[in-house]
Structure 1
Amino acid sequence: MRISVIGSGYVGLVTGMGFVKLGNEVIFVDVDENKIQMINNAQPPIYEEGLEELMREFKGKYHATKNYREAILNSDVTFIAVGTPSREDGSIDLKYVKAASKSIGEALREKTGHHVIVVKSTVLPGTTEEVVKPILEETSGKKAFKDFGLAMNPEFLREGVALKDFLNPDRIVIGTQDERTRKVLEELYAPINAPKLFTDIKTAEMIKYASNAFLATKISFANEIGNICKKLGIDSWKVFEGVGLDHRISPYFFRTGIGWGGSCFPKDTRALIRKAEELGEDPIIIKAAVEVNERQPLKLIELLKKHVPDLKGRKVGLLGLAFKPNTDDVRETRAYIVVKKLLEEGANVIAYDPQGMGNFKRFYPDVGERIKYASTPEEVLNSTDVILIVTEWPQFEELDYSGRIVIDGRRVRAAERTARVYEGVCW
Structure 2
Amino acid sequence: MQASRIFIIGSGVVGVATGRGFLAAGHDVTFIDTDTSRLDELRSVYGLDARAELDLRDELDSFVFLTLPTPNVGWEYDLRAFTAGTTSVGQALADSPGRHTVVVRSTVPPGTTEGLVRSVLERCSGRVAGVGFGLAANPEFLRAASAEEDFRSPWMTVVGSRDPETVAGLVGLLASFGGELRTFDSPAEAEFVKCAHNIFNATKISFWNEMWLVAREVGVSLDPVAATVARSAEGSFNPEYGIRGGAPYGGACLPKDTCGFVGFAAGVGVDMPLLRAVVATNERLAAVMRREVEGVVGREAVGGAGRA
The whole-number CA distance in structure 1 between the counterparts of 2:40 and 2:11 is 12
Distance in 2 of aligned mates of 1:231 and 1:107: 60
Q: Which residue number in structure 2 is paired with residue 210 of structure 1? A: 196
2:249 aligns with none
Match of 1:106 in 2: 91
**Counterpart in 1 of 2:52?**
66
Match of 2:134 in 1: 149
Q: How many Å apart are 1:167 and its aligned residue?
A: 1.4
User: Where does residue 245 of structure 1 map in the other structure?
Assistant: 231
Alignment of 1:21-420 (within 5 A): 21-41=24-44, 43=45, 55=46, 59=47, 62-69=48-55, 73=59, 76-87=62-73, 89-199=74-184, 200-246=186-232, 248-250=234-236
Distance 1:75 1:154 in 2: 22
Amino acid of the structure 1 residue aligned with 2:14: V
Count of matched residue pairs: 239
Deviations 1:239-291 (A, max 9, x none): 1110111373448xxxxxxxxxxxxxxxxxxxxxxxxxxxxxxxx969969xx
In 1: Cα distance, 2:153 partner to 2:177 partner: 7
What's the counterpart of residue 410 of structure 1? none
**1:123 Cα offset (Å):** 0.6
Provide the rounded CA distance (Å) in 1 between the counterparts of 2:153 and 2:275: 29
Equivalent pair of 2:157/2:181 in contact (CA under 8 Å): yes
Q: Measured at CA, do residues 39 and 287 of structure 1 come closer, stay the same or move farther in structure 2, by a change above 3 Å?
A: farther
Higher helix content, 1 or 2: 2
Distance 1:125 1:72, change over 3 A: farther
Cα distance in 2, alignment partners of residues 92 and 162 from structure 1: 22
Alpha-carbon distance change, 234 to 134 in structure 1, aligned in 2, over 3 angstroms? same
Asked if the contact 2:175–2:181 (Cα under 8 Å) also holds between the matched residues in 1, the reply is no
1:205 is paired with a residue of what secondary structure? helix
Structure 1 residue 111: deviation in Å? 1.1
Number of the residue aligned with 1:12: 15
Tell me, in whole angstroms, the C-alpha distance in 2 between the residues paired with 1:113 and 1:185. 17
1:247/1:147 CA distance change after superposition, 3 Å: farther
CA displacement, residues 339-369 of structure 1 (integer Å, 9 cap, x when unaligned)? xxxxxxxxxxxxxxxxxxxxxxxxxxxxxxx
Deviations 1:149-201 (A, max 9, x none): 00001111111111121112221000111111111101111211111110110
> What displacement does 1:74 show?
7.4
CA distance in 1, matches of 2:172, 2:25: 12
Q: CA deviation at 1:73?
A: 3.5
CA distance in structure 1 between the aligned counterparts of 2:87 and 2:107, rounded to whole angstroms: 18
Kept in 2, the 8 Å contact 1:29–1:71? The answer is no
Q: Residue 69 of structure 1 aligns to a residue in which SS?
A: coil
User: Is the CA contact 2:103–2:136 (under 8 Å) kept in the aligned structure 1?
Assistant: yes
**Alpha-carbon spacing, 1:125–1:243, altered in 2? closer, same or farther (3 Å):** same
Counterpart CA distance in 1 for 2:139 and 2:211 is: 31
Shift in Å, 1:75: 6.0
Q: Tell me, yes or no, if the aligned pair for 2:43 and 2:49 is still in contact at 8 Å.
A: yes
Q: Which residue identity lines up with residue 215 of structure 1 in the other structure?
A: N
Unaligned runs of 5+ in 2: 238-272, 279-308
Q: TM-score, normalised by structure 2?
A: 0.73
After superposition, the Cα gap between the structure-2 partners of 1:233 and 1:72, relative to the gap in structure 1 and judged at 3 Å, is: farther
C-alpha contact 2:60 2:97 (8 A) present in aligned 1: no
Letter in 2 for 1:181: T
Structure 1 residue matching 2:83: 3-state secondary structure: helix
User: Partner of 1:348 in structure 2?
Assistant: none
Say whether the 8 Å CA contact 1:3–1:77 is kept in structure 2.
yes
Letter of the 2:206 counterpart? S
Residues in 1 aligned to 2:98 and 2:5: alpha-carbon distance in whole angstroms: 13
What code does the residue aligned with 2:78 have?
Answer: D
Distance 2:109 2:140 in 1: 13
Partner of 2:287: none
State the shift of 1:113 in Å: 1.4
Larger radius of gyration: 2
Structure 2 counterpart of 1:37, one-letter code = D
